[in-house]
Structure 1
Amino acid sequence: MKKLALCLITLSIFMSCKSTKIENKINSLKYPITNKGIVSTNYFETEVKDPYRWLEDDRSDETMAWVKNQNKATYGYLDNIPFRNELKDRLTKLWNYEKIGSPFKEGDYTYFYKNTGLQNQYVIYRYKTGEDPKTASVFLDPNGFSSDGTTSLGGTSFSKDGKKLAYAISEGGSDWRKILIMNTETKEIIEDTIVDVKFSGMSWYKNEGFYYSSYDKPEGSELSAKTDQHKVYYHKLGTTQKEDRIIFGNTPEEKHRYIYGSVTEDNHYLLISPRTSTSGNKLYIKDLTIENAPLVEIIGNTDSDTYVLENIGSKLFLVTNLNAPNQKIVTVDASKPTPEHWIDFIPETKNVLSPSTAGGYFFTEYMVDAVSQIFQYDYNGKLVREVKLPSIGSAGGFGAKKEETELYYSFTNYVTPGSIYKYDIEKGVSTLYRKPDIDFNSDNYESTQVFYPSKDGTKIPMIITHKKGLELNGKNPTILYGYGGFNISLTPSFSITNAVWMEQGGIYAVANLRGGGEYGKEWHDAGTQLKKQNVFDDFIAAAEYLIAKNYTSSDYLAIKGGSNGGLLVGATMTQRPDLMKVALPAVGVLDMLRYHTFTAGAGWAYDYGTAEDNKEMFDYLKGYSPVHNVKAGTQYPATLVTTGDHDDRVVPAHSFKFAAELQAKQSGANPTLIRIETDAGHGAGTPVSKTIEQAADVFGFTLYNMGYDILPSNTENFKD
């Protein structure tokens, strides 16, 4: 008893000293001065001031100076977090294990991606198909693209015979790409680089050339200027980019903000899929076996999402949510491809369908409360079997060429690092192909799925993950993560950074909010435009559930999200600043009145609407726009805004303006900081070194503002 009493007294003194030190540090924080302008915009006879619009100019000296000064203040704060380096060291150690992707065949070779541990970018290896995989050698190493690892591989596409490779590179995290073309035998670059490519695949026609997409180069800053007329081009080998033909999109009177061209595996058809927004597409088909064949319309409106999954000669297999919110597969002949001729092949079910093909079979993945269930069908639509998965979680990669007899799929969940399984397509047998050797014991952790009521009574699923035996005492540091938009589903997956969080005794909770795709189009639409508040209500209810069930409390709760999830965090913290201790909005869409004026932002209007649509939409957007709802005299949670200076998807001006508003109006001692990564974009291709540093800063900031002066894992001796 004496020992226990001494420990409790020591802990009490420790916590008191810790609190005083943190408070002193926060009170000494001085923010850089952010000048205010007098710019305003009139919307439906309402004048809206925009004092920080000057921060939208990413090329101005004033903005660059502001970024430099903000980072100086932020890193001055972060540098004083006593356990920041401990977090970085642990993240580095845990990250340092060999990671290998699923093998795939192209031409005479089998390829796979590999990272030895801490390489900034994955490397592509290959070996002769049929030979020992141990003979594999480096084929393409993106780590040599730039000295600091900020130039990444942005996509690859092999010619039909595998003898040529088109690959895209991204510089500084930008969505703008360059395409290089390689002879895969000699590894030599054989053509001039294709430049100014954005939001593009690369789809080969035979071995002669490929289709790709891009916008005209915008006037002004290529990182923020509006781009809203996408085009599909065809590049024929042996010609210059200037000679590339425009296949679709050269119609200024009709905005198609995203257009993609793809060729069927048998080289029979070209498929063109134009979109005006991120949801809904038109669909056209062209017979490439007939010279000068016209583009034939399959669907001439954007009321559904429809694409061609497979074809056998002229018989097309289409995936659609037209009159089927959870998607189905239909068949039709290419000679009469319009919807009135469609025949159901695999009908809609109560679960969302995501199909693929491999080895002459269809594989249908269904989301059942956000976890995977896989079935195998033959080309007559007959169910062959359910694919037995290793556990409850997320499976992916059920795709291969028609002639293949095996495929490789991945499996993961919140406590299981991604493993690869080899699947015998005819026998239906899975065998473990590769399991990572990682310094993390999954057996010590558990995930629980719960269903909680939102404000309007809708049941929302959430998966809560933490160490086994965790005491529900309301004092567990907790990160609540969400997205809730663009039909994107949050399914269970392992994260090295989240593993480190949970090692510290932290809880990681993921809520499957409306606006996502977990329950199909109706679930998505329930979180869009004039129903967007449902998403925020779902997230707030998730936080309230965690608090009510004593997982955590407001003093130990952080909310986190990126991109549309950054909007989620910004809206939640401005509506309910009392609910959480820490807010972590990353690369967020935060100015809802002007988001559509930057880059391809106008394409997000299906989810958001725009302030120019009508007064009702303007009022609604202004009512939750984070930049416009920061109120003076309010105590907001400790906030670390994160963004990248090369983010040309959600331009950093969103984050700049939000941080400036918070710093000007914050009441109380909670810090409001912005961490601006240089030579970084929206997230894809970020070097491992930068990812580790950012995670250490985010977790360090979070725990520090929850009252910790040493890592929670280092206080376990006080719990005896």
Structure 2
Amino acid sequence: MKKYIIPFSMALIFVACKEETKKESVAVTYPQTKKVDTVDTYFGVEVSDPYRWLEDDRSAETEDWVKRQNKVTFDYLDNIPFRKALKERLSALWNYEKVGAPFKEGDYTYFYKNDGLQNQYVVYRFKTGEDPGTAEVFLDPNTFKEDGTISLGGLSFSEDGKTAAYSISEGGSDWRKVLVMNAETKQVVEDTLVDIKFSGLSWKGNEGFYYSSYDKPEGSELSAKTDQHKLYYHKLGAPQQEDKLIFGGVPAEKHRYVNGYVTQDNKYLVVTAKTSTSGNKLFIRDLEDPNGKFVTVLDHTDSDTFVLDNVGTKLILVTNLNAPNQKIVTVDAANPTPNNWVELIPETQNVLTASTGGGFIFTEYMVDAVSKVLQYDYNGKLIREVDLPGVGSAGGFSAKKDESELYYSFTNYVTPGSIYKYDIKNGTSELYRKPAIDFNPENYESKQVFYTSKDGTKIPMIITHKKGLKLDGKNPTILYGYGGFNISLTPSFSITNAVWMEQGGVYAVPNLRGGGEYGKEWHKAGTKMQKQNVFDDFIAAAEYLIANNYTSPDYLAVRGGSNGGLLVGAAMTQRPDLMKVALPAVGVMDMLRYHTFTAGAGWAYDYGTAEDSKEMFEYLKGYSPVHNVKAGVEYPATLVTTGDHDDRVVPAHSFKYAAELQEKQAGNNPVLIRIETDAGHGAGTPITKTIEEYADIFGFTLYNMGYEVLPQKVNDKVKE
């Protein structure tokens, strides 16, 4: 067993067992939150919204409320005796070198690296073919701002690799600025492009690049509605005001999400246009024809379809049109509509994700949320199954057509992410990078179980914990879920979860309906009028863990973020008896008004809106967390987390939910809201802020499960 030294002062707090460290909950005095008389009427039904004023993120009154709430929250957290020890352990475990997979651009090979506790990853490069030890810093986002709150978004190179465009996010906002630099000299060569959002950066040769954005909204940039996405072309050397509108901007045909990308041979511009987060129209334009017009591949949003690659005029498409688990088809660009599609790689019983590298197609299949990867040629002939290092999640099978090797990552809940080099022709893998982390996977086990949801549906769940765990119902457990937007939760290592499991904690992740683990039908089974299936699946997961003595209601915490924050909010209002702690993060909590903020209207595919019909309104109101907090109910100890710059799920959702809970909570379980400053929905958050947040989350969780010291010794052995 791998051992490590911890300070004597820290060792002392691991000593007592949990039976001896139970404590009583302490009541909290909350800041007063005023109520207003705002009332909305839906289909003749009046719905009060007493905390509507908290939606104004620019008001001094809201700013004062945030400060007062944070003071109460941090005063409480400051009194948790082992909070500092958790922060120290998180920092210690996080402090190892993390290196991303290399990629080639022009004469150089690039890679991302973090020395350990750097707030942001740094981009390095070396001359291709030379010793990687000669690598130099190419771009260091840690120099953008001292506290790390300006982060690097996308990085894209011109065809010859001599020019790079990169986007930055300030304070975690989804709004981006784009800078253009000479890759040889590393000098910025143009004025900064502004007001760019939900955008890739795709080069047309060496001349310029395509990007997407919205018109600047009226009112608050962080919360005002944005629903007319447009694709622009920026020619190098020209001011942004002269950037050409390529697609979008037609008032009668709004698209909330427009993306444009150029095929590797620079022959076609591909445009996807979406009105919601699922389903897209598809268009192509021949860039070799100066008078070329857009050709329609798909004129409806009934499927998710994109161009994977092309060979001359033959397009290779990935689609779930009449194939819920996705398939690959080919078609000639001159007549690309579905009636001309020819099947290349058929749909299977498992969900397909496709990529290309070295002139081959790689298909990753999810088999009960675990990766299986096959390699095909461009004629659809199976070459081989890729021999993966183990059972878990593999990704990154991508490279340019002329490459002979590619790099992929592999991880699971107990295996820190490693990088493997893959010989494309021979199909052999070799370990390229394995992190030197102070964590021994041999001390832990991760297993998949299947449990039955309310309607009889079998749901998979992976449960991870220390080996030798005693099933006595007293293990602190985090049940994490998402269940939406066709997003799949596959096994991956997390430093924060490792620290949780070191304390004897159980970490359980069910693959709920609404996700993409079993294809489009699985996704649709958790949308709109079937959204309750997701909550039922999550509740059934909690019941399974309790019934099988992994934990009990006194030791169970539920956690999720964004759509997962909604999941936690709905589960804790429907079954407050089932858990001791609730941890909703950046959650969608007001289901009657979510679509009125930023790009929220694009989520209607999953949720529906309160304006669709009386039936849809009543269904949403029936589970909307803000509208289902009842006076006199004892809700679990709750730590709501959000960021003041979250312009995807605006913080007003969390503000209003916390206010409702604080007003109506019965008993002594605390209801706190932790509002991070200069932080958004999560992406680009500095490591220092992440460590502090998880020390607070784990500290709050264990403290409210009754612990006054950390529950277990590290690795069951303490060296003093």
Residue identity matched to 2:41: N
> What SS does the corresponding residue of 1:518 show, helix, strand or coil?
coil
Structure 2 residue 555 is matched with structure 1 residue 552: no
- Return closer, same or farther for 1:83/1:158 CA change in 2, 3 Å cut-off: same
Alignment correspondent of 1:32: 31
Deviations 1:67-105 (A, max 9, x none): 000000000000000000000000000000000000000
Alpha-carbon distance, 1:189 to partner: 0.5
- Residue 494 of structure 1 aligns with an amino acid whose one-letter code is F
Q: Hey, what's the Cα distance between the residues in 1 that align with 2:244 and 2:437?
A: 49
Paired-residue identity, %: 76
Q: Partner of 2:665 in structure 1?
A: 666
1:457 alignment counterpart? 456
Match of residue 686 from structure 1: 685
The equivalent of 1:254 in structure 2 is 253
Partner of 1:292: 291
Deviations 1:187-240 (A, max 9, x none): 111111000000000000000000000000000000000000000000001111
**Letter of the aligned partner of 1:695 in structure 2?**
Y
Hey, what does 1:126 align to over in structure 2? 125
Instruction: Determine the structure 1 residue equivalent to 2:633.
Output: 634
Query: Is residue 262 of structure 2 the alignment partner of residue 263 of structure 1?
Result: yes
**Which residues in structure 2 correspond to 1:50-89 (within 5 Å)?**
50-89=49-88
Residue correspondence of structure 1 range 378-527 to structure 2 within 5 A: 378-527=377-526
Report the equivalent of 1:616. 615
| Structure 2 Cα separation of the partners of residues 579 and 268 of structure 1 | 57
Matched, 1:651 2:650: yes
Cα offset, 1:19, TM superposition: 4.0
Q: Which amino acid aligns with 1:398?
A: F
Deviation at 1:640, TM superposition (A): 0.2
Residue in 1 that maps onto 2:214: 215
| Aligned partner of residue 166 in structure 2, secondary structure | strand
SS in 1 for 2:69: helix
Which residue does the alignment assign to 2:8? none
Q: 1:297 to 1:13 in 2, by over 3 A?
A: closer
CA shift, 1:561, in A, is 0.1
Deviations 1:102-151 (A, max 9, x none): 00000000000000000000000000000000000100000000011000
Deviations 1:579-609 (A, max 9, x none): 0000000000000000000000000000000
Q: Which has the higher contact order (CA 8 A, sep 6+)?
A: 2
The one-letter amino acid of 1:189's match is V
**AA aligned opposite 1:176:** W
Matched with 1:237 is: 236
1:169 CA displacement: 0.2
| 1:717 to partner: Cα distance | 9.0
Matched with 2:45 is 46
Q: CA deviation at 1:250?
A: 1.2
How do 1:241-390 residues align onto structure 2 when only pairs under 5 Å count? 241-390=240-389
Alignment match, 1:151? 150
Amino acid at match of 1:481: Y
Alpha-carbon distance between aligned partners in 2 of 1:713 and 1:424, rounded to the nearest angstrom: 44
CA distance in 2, matches of 1:508, 1:234: 46
Partner of 1:174: 173
User: Shift of residue 657 of structure 1?
Assistant: 0.2
Distance in 1 between residues matched to 2:300 and 2:382, nearest whole Å: 33
Q: 1:710 maps to which residue?
A: 709
Q: CA offsets per residue over residues 485-533 of structure 1, 9 Å max, x none?
A: 0000000000000000000000000000000000000000000000000
Distance between the aligned counterparts of 2:285 and 2:275, measured in 1? Answer: 21
Give 3-state SS (helix, strand or coil) of 1:177's partner: strand
CA pair 12-430 structure 1, distance change in 2 beyond 3 A: closer
Instruction: Please state how far the C-alpha of 1:365 moved relative to its aligned partner.
Output: 0.2
How far apart are 1:610 and its partner, in Å?
0.2
In the alignment, the residues of structure 2 paired with residue 245 and residue 717 of structure 1 have an alpha-carbon distance, to the nearest angstrom, of: 64
Equivalent position amino acid for 2:600 in 1: G
1:197 corresponds in structure 2 to 196
* In 2: Cα distance, 1:213 partner to 1:478 partner: 42
| Deviation readout 1:15-73 (Å, 9 max, x if unpaired) | 798545x43xx22x210000000001000000000000000000000000000000000
Quickly say closer, same or farther: Cα 1:593–1:671, change in 2 above 3 A.
Answer: same
Contact 2:355 2:361 in 1 (8 A): yes
Residue 14 (structure 1) shift: 8.6
Secondary structure in 1 matching 2:577: coil
Taking structure 1 as reference, are residues 61 and 300 closer, same or farther at Cα in structure 2, changes over 3 Å only? same
Using a 3 Å threshold, how does the CA distance of structure 1 residues 330 and 83 change in structure 2: closer, same or farther? Answer: same
The CA deviation at 1:650 is 0.1
TM-score (norm 1): 0.97
Partner of 2:115: 116
Map 1:526-565 onto structure 2 (within 5 A). 526-565=525-564
Call closer, same or farther: CA 1:129–1:632 in 2, change over 3 Å.
same
**Aligned equivalents of 2:421, 2:378: Cα separation in 1:** 22
- The aligned residue for residue 605 of structure 2 is 606
1:85 match: secondary structure: helix
Find the aligned partners of 1:566 and 1:273 in 2 and give their Cα distance.
29
Specify the code of the residue in structure 1 equivalent to 2:562.
Answer: S
- Displacement of 1:642 in angstroms is 0.1
Which residue of the partner structure matches residue 107 of structure 1?
Answer: 106
What is the letter of the counterpart of residue 110 of structure 1? T
**Structure 2 CA distance for aligned equivalents of residues 390 and 560 of structure 1:** 30
**Matched residue, 1:5:** none
Q: Secondary structure at the match of 2:265?
A: coil
Unaligned runs of 5+ in 2: 1-13
- CA distance in 1 between counterparts of 2:251 and 2:167 reads 27
Q: Which string of whole-angstrom CA distances, capped at 9 and with x for unpartnered residues, describes residues 276-309 of structure 1?
A: 0000000000000011211000000000000000
Deviations 1:149-183 (A, max 9, x none): 00000111100110000000000000000000000
SS of 2:543's equivalent?
helix
Question: Helix, strand or coil for the counterpart of 1:418?
Answer: strand
Deviation at 1:714, TM superposition (A): 4.0
Which amino acid in structure 2 is aligned with residue 314 of structure 1? T
Partner AA of 2:147 in structure 1: D
1:650 partner letter: V
Residue identity in the other structure for 1:299: L
Letter in 1 for 2:395: G
Is 2:514–2:522's contact at 8 Å kept on the other side of the alignment? yes
Q: How many Å separate the matches in 2 of 1:547 and 1:334?
A: 56
Q: Distance in 2 between matches of 1:428 and 1:14?
A: 50
- Rounded to whole Å, the distance in 2 between the matches of 1:499 and 1:85 is 17
RMSD (CA atoms): 1.4
CA contact (8 A) 2:330 2:343 kept: yes
Q: Which residue of 1 aligns with 2:6?
A: none
- Taking the aligned partners of 2:299 and 2:382, their CA distance within structure 1 comes to 33
Q: Once superposed, which parts of structure 1, at least 4 consecutive aligned residues long, lie more than 2 Å away?
A: 11-20, 714-718
Aligned to 2:9: none
Which letter maps to 1:270? L
Q: Is the CA contact (8 Å cut-off) linking 2:18 and 2:711 kept in structure 1?
A: no
Kindly indicate whether the alpha-carbon contact (under 8 Å) linking 2:16 and 2:712 is maintained by their aligned counterparts in 1.
Answer: no
Aligned-residue offset at 1:379: 1.2
- Matched residue type, 2:373: I
Give the equivalent residue in structure 2 for 1:3.
none
The answer to whether the 8 A contact 2:17-2:711 is kept is no
Q: Counterpart amino acid of 1:126?
A: R
State the one-letter code of the partner of 2:88. D
Aligned counterparts of 2:373 and 2:21: Cα–Cα separation in 1? 51
